[in-house]
A and B are shown apart, each in its own frame.
Chain A
């Protein structure tokens, strides 16, 4: 069964880069343009993993993570957030909100594929 990944970012080019990297590795990728869009899509479908930016209009990443952890159909889903700084403050906040792991921007496509494999176990 192919794993499905939700990528949430307000930048279309970033979404495209992530999509190409992950679908090239055999995952099925769904895109969302901001926190609210991401949450909506998550309500309708359980994903195997979520990758999200933190700075987004409409609903930022931290809020979306918090809300997503409340959704019954997303229980235990790994959520990876993308951060531009290796700032422990952000990491701690995101983990408190319920995030599983992180990815530091800018990243290579192999890095995100590696994180996906690590977190999904496949």
Chain B
């Protein structure tokens, strides 16, 4: 067990310190003068050296000592940080990780020496140059703070519109000033008591900025100060909580770390706990059933209480396992940095929505598929400097990773501004592989889906980066194993965007229970958009067409009675549940909508895994089994029908 083995604990901790050092180095790469970052790297190396020695990792301690000495020169201002130095120290970190994994007491295998040489060389280069501002002179820019009159919103002023205009001028580091918000008992929601502070680039003129506030200039507090060259825009902090002046960054960081109280728990224990909660939910729903049928009011009220508690427990469990995707994205910073160097291209990684949280196992499982997509984007998607210049694009290619939560799912997009997927080559490859008859007509968005077929790689040369074309089909399978979906949107010459949608939790979901004939089925409530009664005329008239118009949009529907071969006669007044994902919708016609309930997902046995329509099964309160429907599959079944019918139409 971990707490009994200090060496194992040290390995985990040192690994984390090295991760932080790596992130600081990557940040330093774009802000070479930032003293805070230099200190952070130094402190990390110092920590690893000290504790390494304590636990017997002599080779690690020795190697790190040299790195620490070298970096100390930068810290003391005797040498300048440079991109080359950053890469050298990154390589050193990799070596340190290797030494960490080895048995304590193993000698250095000699791979460290060349790295140290490289380190020394990059420092020499930095020592000769005079200390001072690096090439990227920071332009002046502005610091803006404003507060609207409290009655501004009542008079029709929309602060969001103002912020949108400011963003268009390039506003960044926008912080809300909440110190003037009264306590809840005195709060008037019609009043605007929030102020805002932000930085604006020098390119924005004073007139342009003041013009944003054209209508409210007379009644507001506006503080627009120009920044001197070299001033970093400091984030605004309300009075009484002074931001630490740059001279004391060392003190600030450790204090942060102490304030965050965390407990380390092995992931296996959380899984056990999750299973227990799952069983509890099943038992509780049986209790609800029994209490519901009985006359005992006291029992019923206790049962409701337990239902509420089980729901809260379930929510807490889900949250326990959630980690911000920032961890996941952080690993890609290093990858993109290295890929940029290997391919000789300039690639900037932009991330968005780092605070979005996903289940820990989902995050782990997503890493490999994302690596593959990112590698493809860097290797094939983003063009080299010359091609980009010729195409009128900025020389630095942009790879954007963003995450957000939407209706019980996590939506991850990876998009690049490269050359897009070459559809002509996809077609050629598909015809060569026999996947497509020559001359067959296929719309572009279906053609692009072919890259998910096994053995499909149109890379002219298999590079070490992108593998052997076994990639995209494996990526899709891995995403589908997480009960997620992956979509591609490619615009020739403009770029490609991959969108992954993964359910937030794998184990327990809110489900909508429906009855079709004698069987019960569950739909994930997050995918349910609406429920309605199928109008009798549509029911009769549409025997063959299966399209219904909902608010000016044609939605295909599937009769589950037919799909699942239900016996008996249909209930009069069939009901339809409209489910959707992304932009697709489908209506599912059922006999009865029973209600919503927490659903513990049990995987299907290997015998039944082939039944694509079902994502799992669950046990209902009365002990019977309900199958959980796979929305992705149903949408896929409905779409071609819809297109064919529309074409006929």
Contact = CB atoms under 8 A, between A and B. Distances in A.
B158 A101 contact: no
Given A75-B190, A76-B190, A98 B160 contact: no
Interface string B201-241: 00000000000101100110000000000000000000000
A121 B154 contact: no
A89 B160 CA distance: 28
A119 B157 CA distance: 7
Given A100-B215, A101-B215, A79 B164 contact: no
B413 to A, nearest CB: 23
Interface string A74-104: 0111110000000000001001001111100
Given A95-B219, A101-B214, A102-B215, A119 B161 contact: yes
Contact of B161 (A75, A95, A102, A121): A121
A121 B160 contact: yes
Interface string A94-122: 01001111100000000000000011110
Most buried by A among B164, B215, B218: B215
B155 A100 contact: yes
Nearest to A88: B218
A118 B214 CA distance: 10
B156 A79 contact: yes
Contacts of A78: 156-158
Given A100-B215, A102-B215, A120 B156 contact: no
Given A75-B190, A99-B155, A120 B161 contact: yes
B157 A100 contact: yes
A119 B219 CA distance: 17
Contacts of B157: 78, 100
A69 interface: yes
A87 to B, nearest CB: 14
A15 to B, nearest CB: 21
A75 B158 contact: no
A99 B151 CA distance: 11
A118 B169 CA distance: 13
B165 interface: yes
Contacts of B219: 95
B156 A77 contact: yes
B359 to A, nearest CB: 35
B156 A76 contact: yes
B153 interface: yes
A102 B218 CA distance: 13
A120 B157 CA distance: 9
A75 B154 contact: yes
Interface string A28-71: 00000000000000000000010000000000000000000100
B219 to A, nearest CB: 7
A96 to B, nearest CB: 10
Nearest to A99: B155
A113 B355 CA distance: 37
Contacts of B212: 118
A101 B160 CA distance: 16
Interface in B546-567: none
Interface in B147-180: 153-158, 160-161, 164-165
A65 to B, nearest CB: 10
B158 A120 contact: yes
A94 B164 CA distance: 26
Contacts of B154: 69, 75-76, 98
B218 A95 contact: yes
B160 A76 contact: no
A61 to B, nearest CB: 15
A39 B590 CA distance: 49
Contact of B164 (A75, A77, A101, A121): A121
Contacts of A121: 158, 160-161, 164
Contacts of B165: 118
B161 A118 contact: yes
A118 B165 CA distance: 7
Contacts of A77: 156
B158 A119 contact: yes
Given A120-B161, A121-B160, A121-B161, A98 B215 contact: no
Nearest to B158: A121
Contacts of A75: 154, 190
A76 B152 CA distance: 9
Q: Which 9 pairs between the two chains have the least Cβ-Cβ distance?
A: A121-B161, A101-B215, A78-B156, A100-B156, A121-B164, A100-B155, A98-B155, A79-B156, A77-B156
Given A100-B155, A100-B156, A118-B165, 4 more contacts: A98-B154, A102-B215, A118-B212, A120-B158
18 contacts: A69-B154, A76-B153, A78-B156, A78-B157, A79-B155, A79-B156, A95-B218, A100-B157, A100-B215, A101-B156, A101-B214, A102-B215, A118-B165, A118-B212, A119-B158, A119-B215, A120-B161, A121-B160
